[in-house]
DNA sequence: GAATGATGGTCATTAACTGACCGATGGTCA
DNA sequence: TGACCATCGGTCAGTTAATGACCATCATTC
């Protein structure tokens, strides 16, 4: 990296000392600090009403510095979502337990699903938006695909559980899995959405869980009786 | 801080955002990191054979950066010494326990003294050099004074203990405190020095302590019999 | 529909850091 | 003894990271 007017023999070569590792590390830490700060902001106020300035202030940086690490406000948001979605994906992926009944698996699924979204309401909004095919933030195609794929995966798990129930004779053999899957998924999201979008902020988790369980039991009973 | 050729209205004013606090904090951390690295180096190899480059490498910085925080190798050394000496000073200052006998106080003193220097041999070298009035490193007068004052303080504590013993009749009333103080101080340092300067690096603390205790008992017996 | 205010993004300027270089010093060998 | 060499404290031209005043844009108000 030399400028034309350099004095000869005074160029800055590639770093030989151990400081490059340190700088790499510190850069990564700054990046994380921004994401941490932004996450808090986004999940407190939602995408629109958060300003880059407040993120910067929370991360104890200037606005300009934010743009050294991310190329837009959208990108920050996307990065946070990707991280959270992957976390959720991991949780859900290891959920299927073949040693238990299909019904118990459905109950377990509902628990994990509710716990995750009740701890991150904003994340639930985004998921909903993606599922319903109208996203408010314009992500790059790559990111879009990733989110869509991950969200779809959660639905597929329900399908797998239902299939397991059919194979074992727990549910009737002529069960329309596709329809039931959508119905159950709608049930879960409906109850959660009801509370999250109700306007009142102080939704108690326990109450949502109880409702979910009750709804689920009705659903399972229905499944068996088809 | 404007340069003559500035575009008007594009000056950088005083910082209003919260990043100044962060920068202050990080600067302090860098400083500490350098001191930590330097301390390890100095106390492994001694002042002379440590290079500024190795300190820099250990602190994961460049040599130039070191000189942004300290103006010379000597200053780094002095800062470390001041910190350690103050620590020692604090330890010794709260040592005097008037509820115990003077003899026990002397034993306690010897223990603390030995523990401190056996954990930092290089520090002991420096103390010795100051006590014997020939210091190998040229500190600024301020630092010199501070070190001399602190080192003297440790000797005065011995004097106070002896005085306490005389007042209580534990030691003879005609005891020459100045002479005894120097003798005891010499005894302590002699035994420690013997081990630290012996060449063999693996001096075991326990052995030094035992010798110190034995020497001290002989000395105390002598004091009483004067 | 002009004025206003808020906000995402830019860029001239500054601060932090880097490492090749310099001069002094001490050791070595002809 | 003096030319040579290696080492090391300290310097500084150059690079990278960070700052915040500014700009363009868009929604809102009057």
pLDDT in tens, B119-132: 777 778 777 777 76
The integer distance in angstroms from the CA atom of A27 to the C1' atom of D17 is 10
Angle between the A102-119 and A73-93 helix axes, to the nearest 10 degrees?
A: 160
Q: How confident is the model at residue A44 (pLDDT cuts 50, 70, 90)?
A: confident
Q: Are residues A98 and A48 in the same domain?
A: no
In a domain, A14, yes or no: no
In a domain, B2, yes or no: no
Overall average pLDDT of the A157-168 stretch: 94
> How many domains are contained in chain B?
2
pLDDT higher than threshold 50 for residue A162: yes
Range B6-23 burial, b when 16+ CB lie within 10 A, else e: eeeeeeeeeeeeebeeee
Written as six digits, the tokens of A149 are 């794929």
Q: How confident is the model at residue A7 (pLDDT cuts 50, 70, 90)?
A: very low
Quote the pLDDT of residue B226.
67
CATH for B136: 1.10.357.10
- B57 contact residues in A (CB cutoff 8 A): 17-18
Q: Are residues B64 and B95 in the same domain?
A: no
Q: Are residues A39 and A125 in the same domain?
A: no
- Looking at B34, B55, B70, the residue that finishes a domain is B70
pLDDT tens figures, A92-142: 888 889 999 999 999 999 998 888 888 777 778 777 777 765 555 666 667
Q: How far lies B155's CA from each of B16, B129, B144, B178, B183, in Å?
A: 52, 15, 17, 10, 11
In a domain, A4, yes or no: no
Quote the pLDDT of residue A82.
84
- A62 contact residues in B (CB cutoff 8 A): 17, 19
Are A62 and A56 contacting, i.e. CB atoms less than 8 angstroms apart? yes
> Which of A17, A60, A61 is opposite residue B57, by nearest beta carbon?
A17
- Quickly count helices (H) and strands (E) in chain A: 9, 0
Q: Are residues A146 and A51 in the same domain?
A: no
CATH for A46: 1.10.10.60
Residue A49 contacts B where some CB pair is shorter than 8 Å: no
What is the share, in percent, of chain B residues with pLDDT greater than 70? 85
Nearest residue (Cα to C1') for C16? B65
Average pLDDT, chain B: 84
Sign, CA dihedral A128-A132-A134-A138, equals: positive
In a domain, A166, yes or no: yes
Q: Are residues A27 and A89 in the same domain?
A: no
Quote the pLDDT of residue A201.
57
Q: Are residues B159 and B64 in the same domain?
A: no
Q: Choose the weakest-confidence range: A55-64, A152-161, B69-78.
A: A152-161
Sign, CA dihedral B197-B201-B207-B209, equals: positive
Residue B24 contacts A where some CB pair is shorter than 8 Å: no
Rounded-to-integer distance, Cα B120 and Cα B115, Å: 9
A138's CB contacts (< 8 A; 6+ apart) are: A74
Q: Are residues B179 and B201 in the same domain?
A: yes
Q: Are residues A39 and A102 in the same domain?
A: no
B29's CB contacts (< 8 A; 6+ apart) are: none
pLDDT tens figures, B18-49: 789 999 999 999 999 999 999 999 888 888 89
Q: How far lies A182's CA from each of A131, A185, B111, in Å?
A: 12, 5, 77
Tell which strand D nucleotides have any atom below 7 Å from a protein Cβ.
Answer: 7-22
pLDDT higher than threshold 90 for residue A218: yes
Rounded-to-integer distance, Cα A51 and Cα A61, Å: 14
- Looking at B54, B70, B86, the residue that finishes a domain is B70
Q: Are residues B32 and B122 in the same domain?
A: no
Written as six digits, the tokens of B166 are 């005389």
Q: How far lies B187's CA from each of B31, B194, B214, in Å?
A: 38, 11, 11
In a domain, B79, yes or no: yes
Q: Are residues B39 and B79 in the same domain?
A: no
In a domain, B13, yes or no: no
Quote the pLDDT of residue A17.
61
In a domain, A127, yes or no: yes
Whether any strand C atom is under 7 angstroms from the Cβ of B63: the reply reads: yes
Are B224 and B172 contacting, i.e. CB atoms less than 8 angstroms apart? yes
- Higher pLDDT, residue A137 or A26: A26
Q: Choose the weakest-confidence range: A166-180, B17-31, B70-84, B192-206.
A: B192-206
Average pLDDT, chain A: 83
Rounded-to-integer distance, Cα B46 and Cα A152, Å: 64
Residue B207 contacts A where some CB pair is shorter than 8 Å: no
Quote the pLDDT of residue B15.
45
Nearest residue (Cα to C1') for D23? B10
- Looking at B5, B37, B70, the residue that finishes a domain is B70
In a domain, B10, yes or no: no
Q: How confident is the model at residue A219 (pLDDT cuts 50, 70, 90)?
A: very high
Angle between the B121-131 and B141-167 helix axes, to the nearest 10 degrees?
A: 90
Whether any strand D atom is under 7 angstroms from the Cβ of B9: the reply reads: yes
Residue A33 contacts B where some CB pair is shorter than 8 Å: no
pLDDT higher than threshold 60 for residue A184: yes
pLDDT tens figures, B179-208: 999 999 999 989 988 887 776 656 678 888
Quote the pLDDT of residue B150.
78
Residue B224 contacts A where some CB pair is shorter than 8 Å: no
Q: Choose the weakest-confidence range: A73-87, B58-72, B93-107.
A: A73-87
Q: How confident is the model at residue A90 (pLDDT cuts 50, 70, 90)?
A: confident
DSSP class of residue A153 equals H
Q: Which domain holds residue A108?
A: 74-225
- B21 contact residues in A (CB cutoff 8 A): 60
- Higher pLDDT, residue A152 or A29: A29
Whether ipTM tops 0.95, in short, is no
> Which of B18, B21, B60 is opposite residue A22, by nearest beta carbon?
B60
Q: Are residues A62 and A122 in the same domain?
A: no
pLDDT higher than threshold 60 for residue A79: yes
Are A55 and A66 contacting, i.e. CB atoms less than 8 angstroms apart? yes
Q: Are residues B155 and B218 in the same domain?
A: yes
């Amino acid at each position: 990296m030399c400028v034309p007017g350099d004095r000869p023999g005074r160029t800055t070569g590639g770093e030989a000392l151990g400081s490059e590792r340190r700088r790499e590390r510190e850069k990564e830490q700054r990046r994380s600090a921004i994401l941490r700060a932004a996450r808090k902001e986004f999940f407190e106020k939602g995408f629109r009403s958060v300003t880059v300035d407040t993120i910067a202030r929370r991360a104890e940086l200037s606005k300009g510095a934010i743009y050294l690490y991310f190329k837009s406000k959208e990108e920050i948001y996307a990065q946070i979502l990707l991280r959270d979605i992957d976390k959720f994906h991991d949780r859900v992926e290891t959920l299927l337990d073949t040693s238990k009944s299909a019904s118990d698996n459905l109950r377990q699924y509902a628990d994990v699903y509710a716990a995750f979204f009740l701890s991150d309401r904003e994340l639930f909004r985004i998921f909903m938006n993606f599922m319903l095919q109208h996203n408010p933030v314009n992500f790059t195609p790559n990111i879009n695909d990733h989110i869509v794929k991950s969200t779809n995966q959660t639905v597929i798990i329900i399908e797998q559980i239902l299939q397991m129930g059919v194979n074992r004779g727990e549910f009737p053999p002529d069960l329309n899995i596709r329809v039931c899957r959508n119905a159950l998924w709608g049930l879960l999201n409906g109850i959660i959405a009801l509370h999250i979008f109700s306007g009142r902020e102080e939704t108690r988790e326990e109450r949502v869980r109880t409702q979910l369980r009750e709804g689920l039991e009705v659903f399972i009973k229905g499944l068996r009786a088809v």
